[in-house]
Amino acid sequence: MNDFIETQAEVRQLAQALLSRGKAPLTPGERRMIERIARRAQVHDLNDELEERLTFGERLAEHVTAFGGSWRFILGFGVFLGIWALFNALVLAEHAFDPYPFVFLNLVLSMLAAFQAPLILMAQNRQAARDRAAAELDYDTNLRSETHILTVLEKVDALQARLEGLAAELEAPKRSARLHADAA
């Protein structure tokens, strides 16, 4: 909410500055800002907004990818593979359902990889979309900063002009006194 109020104040400030200038041409920065304001919609929390748009498949892909890329999965799967190999090679030795080169285990691992690869790619695509949205928010923030900087620069220029005017006013009596002194 504070961002929206701040943005309203910025827009109002820019509008007042532009209206007070009359028909003077816009600077490139002002033109960009006006175009950006015209296109900008009120922005909510980026993560919430992106979460709301996820389909069931995208949510599932993110959960599977998060679990598949965790130490819990790696350690658990390592234990599973060890138990599978020991159970078939030592415990069931003569009657193993998957004897030593573990062909069935290779099939299971291949199927797991066949499912995990597209899910990982889907999760990466979602992350790329998040990154693009974050870059857009960064651009908006930079644009607001540029507006603030332009406002500050205008105020500094106005203060500098005022100081130069005051200095000239203070210098005028001294200059006139010197002229009178030189004339006398």
* Domain-embedded: residue 98: yes
Per-residue model confidence as pLDDT tens digits over 139-167: 888 888 888 888 889 899 999 999 999 98
* Domain-embedded: residue 21: yes
- Give the residue among 120, 81, 126, 77 at the shortest CA–CA distance from 104: 81
Residue 100, pLDDT score: 83
Q: Answer yes or no: do 85 and 134 share one domain.
A: yes
- Count of domains for the chain: 2
Share of the chain above pLDDT 70, in %: 84
Q: Answer yes or no: do 129 and 176 share one domain.
A: yes
Q: Answer yes or no: do 114 and 86 share one domain.
A: yes
Residue 45, pLDDT score: 65
CB atoms within 10 A of CB 14: 17
Q: Show the domain range for 31.
A: 1-42
Residue 106, judged by CB atoms within 10 A of its CB (0-12, 13-18, 19+), counts as exposed
Q: Answer yes or no: do 135 and 95 share one domain.
A: yes
Q: Answer yes or no: do 49 and 24 share one domain.
A: no
Inform me whether the pLDDT recorded for 40 exceeds 70. Answer: no
* Domain-embedded: residue 151: no
